[in-house]
Amino acid sequence: MSEQEILARAFQEIVKTRRSIRLFDKVPVPEEVVRTALDLALLAPNSSNLQPWEFVWVRSTSKKEQLVQACFSQAAASTAAELIVCIARIDTWRRNCEDMKIQLKELANQGVRIPKAATHYYDKLVPMVYSQGPLGFWGVIKKLFVFFLGLKKPISREPSSISDMKIWATKSTALACENLMLSLRASGYDSCPLEGIDSKRIRKLLGLPGQVLIPMVIAIGKRRSDGVTLPRIRADKSWFVREV
Amino acid sequence: MSEQEILARAFQEIVKTRRSIRLFDKVPVPEEVVRTALDLALLAPNSSNLQPWEFVWVRSTSKKEQLVQACFSQAAASTAAELIVCIARIDTWRRNCEDMKIQLKELANQGVRIPKAATHYYDKLVPMVYSQGPLGFWGVIKKLFVFFLGLKKPISREPSSISDMKIWATKSTALACENLMLSLRASGYDSCPLEGIDSKRIRKLLGLPGQVLIPMVIAIGKRRSDGVTLPRIRADKSWFVREV
């Protein structure tokens, strides 16, 4: 088998054996396995490299207990060895944009060729595209402007509201979450992405501002033999994949 | 090396070598590679297995040309061998829920043990949780109800608006998109997730209803040696990963 075939088969095996696990065995997950999964999560592609994600690994016994309760004490949470709260933030892009500008400058100083478009992008375009102004007012202006300009030529339409920003941040965070879950599987461990959660209680528990989103809590552990409750079911592929 | 180590290393290699490619070589991508990536995309975890995703592989020359224009003719799109429009739908969950009910019944008839909770979930809970009513009215009622109930005990708070539904559908679709891009990498091919797109023009081109979202267009091809424009940059990990 060629190197490439090994990679391709490995990936198929990882994806095909990943299931959402509802009951975990009472065995610990090596710290290294979780750390690797988190590291690989941060390598996901993300919008304009503004990294709107955050992952809180809840390890203290008392916080974990409260988190389990905020996940309705469902077995996937209560039997999990580890729990990670996955957060999408619409309030960190300015900070991360500034960091990009600094890092691009440092790279340039080291002799790396940085395209002018990249510098311009973070200096000028990012603030324009992602600012929505107080109460989203600037977003409304942008939407109007874009509507008229868009009559004549293609134009980028989102994000033009706080709501768009939430979609935007959730998207990149989900890409990272998938890396995280697949990494656990690749290491022989399992996960369950929990969306049935009390986001308000979790925000309070972690001291998060009201506007952050919690796309999911990822429960982590080793699957119990009865940890998969249903066979894998998908609707007919023709409903989801079209060629035109 | 154990089987598990091979999988773990393979996954690390796939994630670490995946980069957003801005210039593709002019070589075709085998149909099988794209089909496998699409198949693996559909195996991503997703909310309540309601599969709110859709992938349109745009192959006809004229449609592809128009799609490239709707991506502002950026090089990642114009040099791509293939383009897939990734769609998040908030209008297909009822259909998919009905399908789940049918498939669960079929499995039960075949002697598979289906937990009562699963049947109940699709019969009763899904319609209650995901319906937002005309103009989101039912969502407002739910939000009020949930607010008061949530004072006493943990309760699931989302989705309780059309906006929440958009976040919800985008999340599952992004999980699938990551599978798709990683699968291409595992097969030795590359991708670029494009968000700088004219969603309105793409909806029109594909005859999609106004309410569907287009989280990204994935450009596919083989990377050119100068296809990566910047070194991989991330802000300090401590900004994104916390332990509590």
Q: Over the stretch B118-175, which tens digit does the pLDDT of each residue have?
A: 999 999 999 999 999 888 888 888 889 888 899 999 999 889 899 999 999 999 999 9
Which pLDDT does position B136 carry in this prediction?
Answer: 85
Condensed to tens digits (0 to 9), the pLDDT of residues B197-209 reads 999 999 999 999 9
Minimal C-alpha gap between B91 and chain A (Å): 13
Question: Across all residues in chain A, what is the average pLDDT?
Answer: 96
CB contact under 8 A, B237 and A197: no
Question: For A198, which of B71, B154, B167 is closest by C-beta distance?
Answer: B154
Beta-carbon separation of A47 and B195 below 8 A: yes
The first and second tokens of residue A120, run together, are 């311009």
% of chain A beyond a pLDDT of 90? 88
Q: B110 to each of A226, A230, B105, B122, B223, how far by Cα in Å?
A: 19, 13, 9, 19, 47
Q: How far apart are CA A9 and CA A7, in angstroms?
A: 6
Quick: pLDDT tens for A203-234.
Answer: 999 999 999 999 999 999 999 999 999 999 99
Residue of B nearest to A96 (CA): B235
Percentage helix, strand, coil, to 5, in chain B?
55, 15, 30
CA distance A151 to B231: 37
Domain locations along chain A? 19-91+167-229, 93-163
B186 with A70: Cβ contact below 8 A: no
Q: What is the pLDDT of residues A53-97, one digit of tens each?
A: 999 999 999 999 999 999 999 999 999 999 999 999 999 999 999
- On whether the CB atoms of residues A239 and B53 are closer than 8 A, the answer is no
| CATH class label, B18-91+164-230 | alpha beta
Find all residues with CB under 8 Å of B5, minimum gap 6, and list them.
none
- Nearest chain A CA: its distance from B25 CA (Å): 19
At residue B143, the pLDDT reads 87
β partners of residue B243: A57
Superfamily of domain A19-91+167-229: NADH Oxidase (3.40.109.10)
pLDDT at A233: 97
Residues of chain A in contact with residue B239, where contact means CB-CB under 8 angstroms, are 51, 54, 92, 95-96
Check residue A1 and give its pLDDT.
Answer: 87
A28 to chain B, closest Cα gap in Å: 17
Please compute the mean of the pLDDT values over residues B60-87 and round it to a whole number.
97
> Is the confidence metric ipTM above 0.95 for this complex?
yes
In chain B, the DSSP E strands lie at 24-25, 53-58, 82-88, 190-194, 213-223, 241-243
Q: Name beta bridge partners: B19.
A: none
Q: Is the pLDDT of residue A146 over 90?
A: no
**Residue A115, phi then psi, degrees to nearest 5:** -60, 140
Are A36 and B12 within 8 A, CB to CB? yes
Nearest CB among A42, A115, A181 relative to B234 is that of A42
Cβ burial, residue A75 (10 Å; 0-12/13-18/19+): middle
User: Are A64 and B197 in contact, with CB atoms under 8 Å apart?
Assistant: no
Q: Which residue stretches of chain A are H helix? A: 3-17, 31-41, 61-70, 75-78, 93-109, 116-120, 126-130, 137-152, 162-186, 199-206
pTM of the model: 0.97
Q: Which residues are CB-neighbours of B30 under 8 A, at least 6 positions away? A: none
CB-CB under 8 Å, A167 with B213:
yes
